[in-house]
Amino acid sequence: MKTLLKTPLIRLIFSIAMIAATSVTAQAQSTSTDDSVFQSLGAKAGIDKIVEDFIPIILADQRIKRFFEQTDKKRLAAQLSDQFCELTGGPCQYKGKDMHEVHEGMNISNAHFNALAEDLQIAMEKNNISSSISNKLVAKLAPMQRPIVSK
C-alpha cells in the first residue's frame, strides 16, 4: 500500500475516494438521525391524530372541499400520515402515488394549495404544535407545490 501511494495518480484517486466516502457517511447520518420534527409532532401517533383532525377541516373548507367528494378518506388519511412521517424523519415509508400523477388534471391552483396548507396549520394548532414546528412541516411540503399545482 505504501509503495502504491507513492504514485501521484494513485494518491489522487485514493484522496478522492476518501472524500467521497466521508461525504456519503455525513449525508447518511444527517438524514437518518434528524427526526426532531417527527418527534415534536408526537411521533407516528401524533401525526395520525393531526391527520385525523386535518381531513374534516378540509371537508368543511368551501375553497377546496369539492375536490374530495369522491375520495376514499381512510386511504387519504393513511397515505398523508405515512408521507408526513417520512418527510419529517420518522421511520415510515410513503407507498402512495407520485404527487404529480395523483393531482394531474385536477386543475389545482396556488390558492387551493395554500388553502390546504392553511388547513394543515389549523389541524396542528388544534394539537398544540408550536408554530415553529408546524412551519417546518409546511416548509417540507413547499417543493410539492410545483408538481401539484396545474392552474
Contact positions vs ligand HEM (CB under 6 A): 64, 67-68, 70-71, 75-76, 79-80, 83, 96-97, 102-103, 108, 112-113, 116, 141, 144, 148
Pick 43 or 76: Cβ nearer ligand HEM: 76
Nearest residue to ligand HEM, using CB? Answer: 96
Cell digits of residue 151: 392552474
Q: How far is the CB of 60 from ligand HEM (least distance, A)?
A: 13
Which has the closest alpha carbon to 149: 106, 109, 119? Answer: 109
Measured between alpha carbons, how far is residue 76 from residues 57, 83, 95, 108 in Å?
Answer: 14, 10, 12, 17
Q: How far is the CB of 149 from ligand HEM (least distance, A)?
A: 8
Cell digits of residue 126: 388544534
Q: How far is the CB of 25 from ligand HEM (least distance, A)?
A: 30
Q: How far apart are alpha carbons 46 and 40 in whole angstroms? A: 9
Pick 116 or 129: Cβ nearer ligand HEM: 116
Q: How far is the CB of 40 from ligand HEM (least distance, A)?
A: 19
Residue 27 backbone dihedrals phi, psi, to 5 degrees:
-65, -45
